[in-house]
Structure 1
Amino acid sequence: MEEWSLRTESPEETMKLASALAGLVQKGDVITLEGDLGAGKTSFTKGFAQGLGVKRVVNSPTFTIIKEYKGRIPLYHMDVYRMEDEDEELGLEEYFYGEGVSVVEWPSMIASQLPEDRLVISLFHVGETNREIKMHSTGLRSTELLKELRYE
């Protein structure tokens, strides 16, 4: 398991970090984003999408649960905050083990359905625009991904 923590001073800096991560991902990678409302999860995802070459506007899929975007590889952006039943069958494994990369906001709502190997990213307010970003891996692939990002 690999861990890394850093601070960003603006949404743009957070997006730049996410864009760099997007340049390293492969199909089947799963990234979870944790943090309070307004912590920067959607800004992170916007930067990530830019790094994948997504041309569409990216916003939170609050009412649709999953939005798909075309980029270098498909991006599956999930916001599962409004899930009422953690075990509700949504076919998420088709996304997690599919042809794209999954970014999941509020992952605790579907903890039992998440793949074991994933990159966990937590965002914390440390000022009006400053964020502390903590990342840790949970398996071999996510460890490799985090090491690549950290030493890039």
Structure 2
Amino acid sequence: MYTCITKNVEETKELGKKLGKSAKSGMVFLLYGDLGSGKTCLTKGIGLGLNINATINSPTFNILKIYEGDLTLNHIDAYRLEGINQDLGFDEQIDGEGLTVIEWPQYIMDTIGDNYLKIEIIINEDDTRTFNFYPYGKEYEVLLKEIVC
């Protein structure tokens, strides 16, 4: 496990930017955290690292948003999918080209393979954020060694 602490939105975006710059096509990032913990903020930073010019916001109502940059960013919010037992076609994004970032992945874990980076975001009492990174796959170990917190 690797851990980083950010003190504000700017530091969270900067952490995301580092992740985006180091990401490779086919990678999957799973974001766990309470509402308001910084999942979308981190994703905005990832977009900056991928040189995405579009405004990145939560895909809660769309469920999936696709952004073009140095890599395609597939941004999935699975929050509203709890209890839905049907094939929604996410396999194409998760197993395809680009980087896939999934908020609330616990609701669609059966569609996610064994290689991914689990990112747990904890809101601390002083309103800082702790990011715990759990790499599942060699490529994620390499990525995390490039990111210095």
Band of TM-score, shorter chain: over 0.9
Which deviations, in whole Å up to 9, do the C-alpha atoms of 1:76-103 show, x marking residues without a partner?
Answer: 0000000043542112121112111000
Q: Partner residue of 1:27?
A: 25
TM-fit CA distance, 1:150: 3.8
Q: Partner residue of 1:50?
A: 48
Q: Partner residue of 1:135?
A: 133
Q: Partner residue of 1:110?
A: 108
Secondary structure, counterpart of 2:147 in structure 1 = helix
Alignment of 1:69-148 (within 5 A): 69-85=67-83, 87-127=85-125, 129-148=127-146
Secondary structure, counterpart of 1:82 in structure 2 = helix
Cα RMSD of the aligned pairs, angstroms, is: 1.4
Q: 5+ residue gaps in structure 2?
A: none
**TM-score, normalization by structure 1:** 0.92
One-letter amino acid matched to 1:124: I
TM-fit CA distance, 1:145: 1.7
Secondary structure, counterpart of 2:56 in structure 1 = coil
One-letter amino acid matched to 1:83: L
What is the aligned length?
149
One-letter amino acid matched to 2:115: D
Which deviations, in whole Å up to 9, do the C-alpha atoms of 1:7-41 show, x marking residues without a partner?
Answer: 11001101101101111111100001000000000
Identical columns (%): 37
TM-fit CA distance, 1:147: 2.0
**TM-score, normalization by structure 2:** 0.94
